[in-house]
Amino acid sequence: MDTRESRSPDQSVADKLDDEIANLRAQVESLKKELALQTSTLMTSEPIQKLLQPDRSGRPRSKQTEVDSKEKLLARAQDQNARKQQCLYRTCASITTFKIHDPDPNAVDDGHVLGVRLEVMSKSRFLRPYYVMLNRPYSERRYLRVHRHTVPQCIPLAGLAARYLPAPSNKRDHNDSSKQDLSQFVRALRREIVRYHNRNAVIGDLRKSAGLESKTERSQEQEVPIVDISAADAEAKQISVGWGDGRSGRLVMDDDGTIVKMVVQGENGRDRDAVRQLLGGSARIEEVVRRLEGI
Amino acid sequence: MARVSLPTTARLPSSLRVDASNPAVIKVLNRLSRTSLLSLVLDWLDPKNLTLCPPVLRHPEEGEDDEDEDDLYPPARSLDELQSIYVDLQARKGSRREVVDRIIEGDWRHGLSLYQLAMADMQYLYDHPGTLKWSTYRIERLQTPRHEDDVDADGIRRPEKIDKASLAIPRFHPSTFLQNLQAEVLPDVKAHYNLDRPPGLPLLLLRIFVLDSPYNTDLAVSSKNQNRSRASITTTVRTSTGSLIEMSAPNPSARDRRSGAAAPASFDASRTIYVAFPDAAPYVYISRSQSSGPTTPSDTKSLRTLVVEGIPKALSRPRERYALRPSDLHTKNLEALLAARGPGRGAAAAGGWSVYAAGAGEARDKALVSPLNVALPVTPPDSDAEGRAKKRGREEEEEEERLRKRRVARARFGDAARMDDGKGVERVDILLEDGFPALPGLDTNTLVEDDDEQEADMAGRANKPGRKKSGNTSSLFATEEGDEEGEREGDGRNRRRKPGETNWRPNLKLTFHGPHVFAGIRQLVEAGIVDGARAPGWMTGEEGVTVGVVREGRIRGFKGSGVGG
């Protein structure tokens, strides 16, 4: 008993110290964040910008160290301005381009790579952007080719690239058929990505409206509750629905969320009533979400 | 047991029981550790699995006095009793032998179902993830022939073309797939399929267990040649589990089985092959087949070919045909496969490009994520940079040099290729087909004498990573006098020769060995042994292949970008 008693205050002291350290660390992090935010705001404000402008009056009163630190600050302010501009473009344009240098010493075209950044929003939040890097491996021609990308596998990037960025044909006379259209390619790609995210989001909405997301038990007026709603394939075009009594269904929608068909399989074969009950003549998947909310 | 067995094309049912004294069964069980064996048994006793793995239970009408006194493992009265026996075993310390004996002599003395064997095999795979060597294949859509004439023009079947412009993503539906695959299996071979989802990995694992038998009943798992197999079994049993024969002899049913009409089952030529389907990625991973019993290499090869040919057909549907294309990545590490050929963003942006692909969880610089955050991105702090900044003179220079090398390594490898990321490939084979670089002031002819030394240098550089990482690895490089022109011209039609490149092309093959090849190269870059700025791209692993041919300093036709070359 003695040992236990003597140990527990020790442990609590150690725990307290650990807590305190964790708290302090969190505080340091938040202060650092605040500092970065204040710095960036100050740096881009007009009075500071004016102050930082190089002294044109030519008065020799400032010391060398002062000039040095001022130059540093100026460089920092320029970086900050560039960053601000980049962020502005990224926020408004959703597709932005930038230059990358390929670190591979044997890279084609001296390592010049064009980066395309695609912004995606989901749940009123910017997601990590998708990138497509293009290079020009074909000698003496300005044809582009997808070099690297971070687009998920369920987006048919290769197919889009083959359609809009075909490789140059070897026959000289045949040039018209293989014309590349970068803007069309990027537009089609963005469309695919946004549609994919929208489909995923609508499945999330379905889950929420069926009461699957919230932990608290929601008043179930349906006699048989839905116990599972999830995407059934890579492209999130098929939704599998599971009921509490073992029935399972599959809803197929097209790229844009229009319902193509739905089948529910019960113990005694197809259950058309369940389909009617769930869909109720909805043409689009969002209507199903509203119906589920209404039930 | 069915009296009449007709040859069929159906698959082997999961409930088909294999005799418990079969050496294959004993081998499968003996491979597992005691803890995983016990958890496996408790899984078998789970009410969900019970129909496929029924244990021996005492009939309720039997009285106490019916108990066979010689029976070491009297059958339990109820499922609960049996479960508690195994839970007790779990709490107690003891040998694996004890559990194995209890399973094959006691509770499953009438045999283990194929489902149980599959579960045991899977458990072994989860316990030892590096035991199988996987190869990756990309699923590609084939062009639909526009007209019948396209297919059979002049009676010659043209090879199908890959539809590069297709926007379809192949969809995998397990039960339909298995039905179609069964249709592809030849009638004189029977297969048992088992699908499982390994814990913690986003993929579906299919185990295909193949027997050479036209029957799908007990006849399939019993030997064709009874005498031969009986002889072999008794010897194996004696050597592998010493006292087994004496112990089981009093058991009348077992004795009957051994000497009676039903010969003990034997998988003379059973083969197992695993196929993994990663979630949301158009790839298939296929393992090398394992076989029990004597098989020839061509035998296992043919099974693999059968599976590789059957899978695209099973995936295909009318007017939607797919083909598999090997994608030059072979490794034992499933995590590495998932990183390079999986659903993530890094699949086509490996190596230094991984900074763009980092997922939200591992994003160190959140500033890259949202454009609403205007704070300047902070360069990731180099570890212990601040503490040692005060050093003077040479030390300071050395420190700076060290930091510079680290930065170079970061530029080339990004966040990938860390020793502890668990995504290591154990072998990389590279074939260099580049012309030998001409040195200024040297004639090509005089160069031939020098270049042995040069090659030794180059190979030595490549050699070191392997040696450093694990003691017993070896690196292999073969140099041969390249066939001067002739042959090379043929396949290098559209190649340009770089200025300053000689005609002489040594046939140079580099093999890197080690637990994590690219992390090793990264360490060499950080240590300054490999010049990070000049190292070619294939040394950083950014192409995501383990077998490749290098031309003009780049791996030819890599599939990393998903576009192919």
Please tell me which residue, B11 or B222, carries the higher pLDDT value: B11
Sheet holding A112-118, edge to edge: A95-101, A112-118, A130-135, A145-149
Please tell me which residue, B565 or B70, carries the higher pLDDT value: B70
Q: In the 8-state DSSP scheme, what is residue B222?
A: B
The predicted pLDDT at position B21 comes to 76
Report whether B77 contacts B41 (CB < 8 A): no
Shortest distance, CA A127 to any CA of chain B (angstroms):
6
CA distance A287 to A279: 8
CA distance A47 to A30: 27
**Over pLDDT 90: what percentage of chain B?**
0
- For residue B168, pLDDT over 70 is answered with yes
- For residue B242, pLDDT over 50 is answered with no
Please tell me which residue, A68 or A2, carries the higher pLDDT value: A68
Is the backbone of residue B19 left (phi > 0), alpha (psi -120 to 50) or beta?
A: beta
Find the range with the poorest average confidence among A23-27, A219-223, B50-54, B244-248.
B244-248
Find the range with the poorest average confidence among A10-14, A192-196, A222-226, B319-323.
A222-226
Which residues of B are less than 8 Å from A78 in CB distance? none
ipTM above 0.90, yes or no: no
- β-pair partners for B253: none
CA distance A118 to A70: 37
What is the separation of C-alpha B188 from the centre of its chain, rounded to a whole number of angstroms?
A: 27
- For residue A56, pLDDT over 60 is answered with no
The predicted pLDDT at position B158 comes to 54
Residues 6+ apart with CB under 8 A from A104: A111, B536, B537, B540, B542, B553, B554
Mean pLDDT of B315-321: 80
Mean pLDDT of A100-109: 82
Q: What backbone phi and psi angles, to 5 degrees, belong to A192? A: -60, -45
Report whether B545 contacts B535 (CB < 8 A): no
Residues 6+ apart with CB under 8 A from B85: B76
Query: Is A83 in contact with B376 (Cβ distance < 8 A)?
Result: yes
Shortest distance, CA A12 to any CA of chain B (angstroms):
32
Average pLDDT, chain B: 69
Give me the residues of B, 363-422, that contact A with CB < 8 A. Answer: 363, 368-378, 411-412
Q: What is the CATH number of domain A94-199?
A: 3.30.457
Query: Is B280 in contact with A158 (Cβ distance < 8 A)?
Result: no
Give me the residues of A, 142-171, that contact B with CB < 8 A. Answer: 145-154, 156-163
Q: What backbone phi and psi angles, to 5 degrees, belong to B395? A: -60, -40
**The two three-digit tokens of residue B174, written as one number:** 């397990």
Q: What angle do CA B454, B459, B461 make, to 5 degrees?
A: 100
Shortest distance, CA B159 to any CA of chain A (angstroms):
20
Tally the residues of chain A.
295
Please tell me which residue, B468 or A250, carries the higher pLDDT value: A250
- For residue A70, pLDDT over 60 is answered with yes
Mean pLDDT of A264-283: 84
> Which chain B residue is nearest to residue A87, measuring alpha carbons?
B371
- For residue A222, pLDDT over 80 is answered with no
Name the range with the highest mean pLDDT among B109-113, B115-119, B441-445, B482-486.
B115-119
**The two three-digit tokens of residue B435, written as one number:** 């012309």
The predicted pLDDT at position B487 comes to 31
Confidence of residue A22 (pLDDT cuts 50, 70, 90): very high
**The two three-digit tokens of residue B447, written as one number:** 């160069």
Residue written as token pair 């116990």: A227
The predicted pLDDT at position A54 comes to 65
- For residue A217, pLDDT over 90 is answered with no
**b (16+ CB within 10 A) / e for B486-499:** eeeeeeeeeeeeee
The predicted pLDDT at position A177 comes to 56
Average pLDDT, chain A: 81
Q: What backbone phi and psi angles, to 5 degrees, belong to B307? A: -70, -45
The predicted pLDDT at position B265 comes to 41
- For residue B373, pLDDT over 80 is answered with no
Give me the residues of B, 514-543, that contact A with CB < 8 A. Answer: 533-537, 540, 542
Query: Is B554 in contact with A162 (Cβ distance < 8 A)?
Result: no
- Residue B166: what residue type? S
Report whether B206 contacts B275 (CB < 8 A): yes
Best probe of the B interface among A76, A84, A88, A153, by most B CBs < 10 A, is A153
CA distance B83 to B39: 11
3-state SS class at B534: coil
Find the range with the poorest average confidence among A6-10, B149-153, B468-472.
B468-472
Q: In the 8-state DSSP scheme, what is residue B65?
A: G
Query: Is A106 in contact with B345 (Cβ distance < 8 A)?
Result: no
- For residue A46, pLDDT over 90 is answered with no
Find the range with the poorest average confidence among A153-162, A208-217, B171-180.
A208-217
Q: What backbone phi and psi angles, to 5 degrees, belong to A28? A: -60, -45
Handedness of CA B120, B121, B123, B128 (dihedral sign): positive
Please tell me which residue, B497 or A25, carries the higher pLDDT value: A25
Mean pLDDT of B438-467: 44
Residues 6+ apart with CB under 8 A from A144: A114, A134, A135, A136, A165, A180, A182
- β-pair partners for B270: B292
Instruction: Give Cα separations from A125 to A133, A195, B391 (angstroms).
Output: 24, 16, 46
- For residue A100, pLDDT over 50 is answered with yes
Burial class (CB in 10 A: 0-12, 13-18, 19+), B118: buried
Confidence of residue B249 (pLDDT cuts 50, 70, 90): very low
Closest CA to B98 of B115, B111, B85, B80: B85
3-state SS class at B215: coil
The predicted pLDDT at position A24 comes to 94
Confidence of residue B268 (pLDDT cuts 50, 70, 90): low
Query: Is B563 in contact with A161 (Cβ distance < 8 A)?
Result: yes
Report whether B109 contacts B47 (CB < 8 A): no
CA distance B114 to B193: 9
- For residue B199, pLDDT over 60 is answered with yes
Give me the residues of B, 83-122, that contact A with CB < 8 A. Answer: none
Mean pLDDT of A96-112: 84
CA distance A179 to A174: 10
Query: Is B169 in contact with A127 (Cβ distance < 8 A)?
Result: no
First to last CA, chain A: 59
Handedness of CA B409, B411, B412, B414 (dihedral sign): positive
- From the list B168, B374, B540, the residue facing A83 with the nearest CB is B374
- β-pair partners for B210: B191, B271
The predicted pLDDT at position A191 comes to 92
Strands B554-555 and B547-551: antiparallel
Which residues of A are less than 8 Å from B348 in CB distance? 148-151
The predicted pLDDT at position B261 comes to 33
Mean pLDDT of A8-19: 80
Give me the residues of A, 228-267, that contact B with CB < 8 A. Answer: 233-235, 238
- For residue A168, pLDDT over 70 is answered with yes
Please tell me which residue, A127 or B381, carries the higher pLDDT value: A127
Find the range with the poorest average confidence among A6-15, A130-139, B20-29, B313-322.
A6-15
Shortest distance, CA B410 to any CA of chain A (angstroms):
11
The predicted pLDDT at position B357 comes to 77
List the domain boundaries for chain B.
20-110+223-259, 395-555
- For residue B259, pLDDT over 60 is answered with no
Span B501-544, pLDDT tens digits: 567 778 888 898 888 888 888 888 888 888 888 888 888 888 77
Report whether A284 contacts A257 (CB < 8 A): yes
- From the list B166, B169, B352, the residue facing A103 with the nearest CB is B352
Mean pLDDT of B449-474: 38
Q: Which string of DSSP letters, residue by residue, matches chain A?
A: -HHHHHHHHHHHHHHHHHHHHHHHHHHHHHHHHHHHHHHHHHHHSHHHHHHHS---S--TTS-HHHHHHHHHHHHHHHHHHHHHHHHHHHHHHSEEEEEEE---TT-GGGGEEEEEEE--B-SSSBPPPEEEEEE--STTS---EEEEE---TTS-HHHHHHHHSPPPPS-GGGGGGG---HHHHHHHHHHHHHHHHHHHHHHHHHHHHTT-S-SSPPP--SSS-EEEEEE-STTS-EEEEEETTS-EEEEEE-TTSBEEEEEEEETTEE-HHHHHHHHTT-SBHHHHHHHHHH-
Query: Is B281 in contact with A153 (Cβ distance < 8 A)?
Result: yes
Query: Is A126 in contact with B167 (Cβ distance < 8 A)?
Result: no
Shortest distance, CA A126 to any CA of chain B (angstroms):
6
Span A108-164, pLDDT tens digits: 778 888 999 998 888 778 888 888 998 888 776 778 888 888 888 888 888 888 888
Residues 6+ apart with CB under 8 A from B166: A156, A159, B141
CA distance B355 to B360: 11
Which residues of B are less than 8 Å from A90 in CB distance? 371
Report whether B101 contacts B82 (CB < 8 A): no
Query: Is B349 in contact with A149 (Cβ distance < 8 A)?
Result: yes
Is the backbone of residue B74 left (phi > 0), alpha (psi -120 to 50) or beta?
A: beta
Shortest distance, CA A166 to any CA of chain B (angstroms):
9
Mean pLDDT of B11-40: 82
Confidence of residue A21 (pLDDT cuts 50, 70, 90): very high
CA distance A105 to B262: 69
Query: Is A156 in contact with B169 (Cβ distance < 8 A)?
Result: yes
